[in-house]
């Protein structure tokens, strides 16, 4: 996209003079290492990614509204900041099934799997109770399973894209920037829905853990392949990918309880140093 002198956006690439952080819905994180902004709509996924200078930019009028985990970004922010009277109203969604999936993802991120019930999702989304039996005959278990699949699919597509188009350090920057902004904008209430399920026992629904394991495995595979392409030995690439996912997910949890992004900043700093020192190093 390109911005002309009147502030309108056309096709092409934007090279902004400064960051814009006010007045536009759909704020999304960007890569601090990039020197240009590119809006890329990812086919088949209902969100887009904006890359840019410094840390933040916004989707402009006429562009696709960014979505996180399949949820409109500004809708997610409204849901996670309900105490803020100035927060924008959650957008209406005609599709009751999609609305319930999005509401379940939001509940998983904030409350975890054990506290995510059909009643909570119905109350937060305004969906009719009959929708549960129509769209999710398996009840709560199917609702959470489908929400996990949707959330995992969206984030996996994002990771596949940033690892395909960037070097490891830039990809890490982009991944962490997303979480930094999410933590701050949700007032440290929201975490990763996949991690939320993984840390609970869910004895009555072991399929939750199986789904979470498959999603984490896809993330590890994408990171492993990226590191291999940049010269790291396959065995070490796999270990480094595991370390990255585990470290970032753990740092997000620490940020929520400490209500500060310091654990995430410390973690990414060490990961970047480790990556810079090991990329291209032979041996296993």
Using 50, 70 and 90 to split pLDDT, how confident is the model at 95? confident
pLDDT of 238: 96
What CA dihedral angle connects 67, 102, 206 and 118, to 10 degrees?
170
Element (H, E) at 39: strand 33-41
Q: What is the DSSP letter of 70?
A: T
pLDDT of 281: 53
* Sign of the alpha-carbon dihedral angle for 46, 50, 56, 61: negative
pLDDT at 202 over 50: yes
Please state, in angstroms and rounded to a whole number, the distance separating the CA atoms of residues 236 and 232.
Answer: 7
Structure tokens at 228: 């291999």
Domains of the chain: 2-278 (1.10.357.10)
Please state, in angstroms and rounded to a whole number, the distance separating the CA atoms of residues 36 and 34.
Answer: 6
Using 50, 70 and 90 to split pLDDT, how confident is the model at 35? very low
pLDDT at 125 over 80: yes
Rounded to an integer, the average pLDDT of 12-19 is 34
For the stretch 2-26, what's the b/e string if a residue is b when 16 or more beta carbons lie within 10 angstroms of its beta carbon?
Answer: ebeeeeebeeeebeeeeebeeeebb
pLDDT at 23 over 90: no
**Average of per-residue pLDDT values in the chain:** 74
Using 50, 70 and 90 to split pLDDT, how confident is the model at 172? very high
pLDDT at 106 over 70: yes
Using 50, 70 and 90 to split pLDDT, how confident is the model at 50? very low
Phi, psi of 10 (to 5 degrees): -125, 180
pLDDT of 203: 83
pLDDT of 280: 54
- Percentage of residues of the chain with pLDDT beyond 70: 65
pLDDT of 264: 97
- For residue 281, count other CB atoms closer than 10 A to its CB: 10
Per the rule left: phi > 0, alpha: psi between -120 and 50, beta: everything else, 116 is beta
């Amino acid at each position: 996209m390109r911005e002309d002198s009147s502030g309108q956006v056309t096709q092409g690439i934007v090279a902004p003079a400064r960051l814009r952080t006010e007045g536009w819905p759909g704020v999304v994180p960007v890569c601090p290492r990039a020197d240009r902004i590119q809006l890329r709509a990812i086919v088949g996924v209902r969100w887009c990614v904006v890359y840019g200078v410094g840390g933040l930019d916004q989707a402009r009028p006429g562009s696709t509204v960014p979505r996180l985990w399949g949820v409109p970004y500004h809708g997610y922010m409204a849901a996670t900041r309900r105490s803020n009277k100035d927060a924008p109203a959650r957008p209406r969604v005609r599709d009751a099934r999609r609305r319930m999936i999005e509401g379940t993802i939001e509940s998983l991120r904030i409350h975890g799997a054990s506290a995510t019930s059909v009643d909570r999702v119905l109350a937060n989304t305004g969906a009719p109770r009959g929708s549960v039996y129509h769209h999710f005959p398996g009840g709560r278990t199917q609702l959470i399973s489908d929400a996990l699949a949707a959330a995992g699919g969206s984030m996996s597509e994002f990771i596949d894209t940033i690892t395909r188009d960037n070097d490891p350090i830039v990809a890490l920057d982009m991944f962490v920037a997303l979480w930094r902004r999410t933590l701050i904008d949700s007032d440290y209430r929201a975490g990763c829905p996949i991690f939320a399920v993984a840390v609970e026992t869910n004895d009555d629904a072991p399929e939750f853990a199986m789904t979470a394991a498959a999603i984490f495995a896809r993330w590890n595979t994408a990171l492993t392949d990226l590191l291999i392409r940049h010269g790291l030995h396959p065995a070490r690439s796999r270990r480094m990918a595991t370390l990255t996912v585990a470290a970032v997910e753990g740092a997000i949890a620490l940020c929520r309880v400490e209500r500060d992004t310091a654990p995430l900043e410390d973690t990414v700093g060490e990961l970047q140093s480790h990556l810079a020192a090991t990329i291209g190093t032979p041996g296993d």
